[in-house]
Amino acid sequence: MEASLDDMESLINKTRMLQCVLEDVELTPDSTNAKKVADLSVVGKIISNRTFGKNAVAAILQKAWNVSKPFQVNVLHSKTFLFEFKQEEDRKTVLQRGP
């Protein structure tokens, strides 16, 4: 037990000088870029009892949607994904065809 206390004290002493310096970061919204991203994106939710990772979702939907260029998949929440297309025509095709 004594060794554990010594280890703990040593760790406390080593970390005593650590500090976190917070710096303000100013973010400027870019409405032009936001519109471009929105025009190329679709949010979708997987309705299933199973949970799928983004790679599995991408592989399945790439085949199902058969779009001309690969798209990017980002996880927003459990079973909710953001699909980012390279061209607006692919996005329109997906929305017209449905799931």
Per residue in 18-57, pLDDT tens? Answer: 777 788 888 888 888 888 888 999 999 999 888 889 999 9
Would you say the C-alpha torsion 86, 88, 93, 95 has a positive or negative sign?
Answer: positive
Is 86 within the bounds of a domain? yes
Is 75 within the bounds of a domain? yes
CA distances from 9 to 15, 18, 20, 80 (A): 10, 15, 21, 45
Q: What percent of the chain has pLDDT over 90?
A: 51
**With DSSP H G I counted as helix, E B as strand and the rest as coil, what are the percentages for the chain, rounded to 5?**
45, 15, 40
CA 2 to chain centre: 46
Is 46 within the bounds of a domain? yes
- Selected residue with higher pLDDT from 55 and 1: 55
Is 80 within the bounds of a domain? yes
The whole domain housing 94 covers 39-99
Is 29 within the bounds of a domain? no
Lookup: tokens for 15: 């970390």
Work out how many domains the chain is built from and give that number. 1
Q: What percent of the chain has pLDDT over 70?
A: 96
Is 20 within the bounds of a domain? no
pTM assigned to the model:
0.66
Lookup: tokens for 86: 């390279």
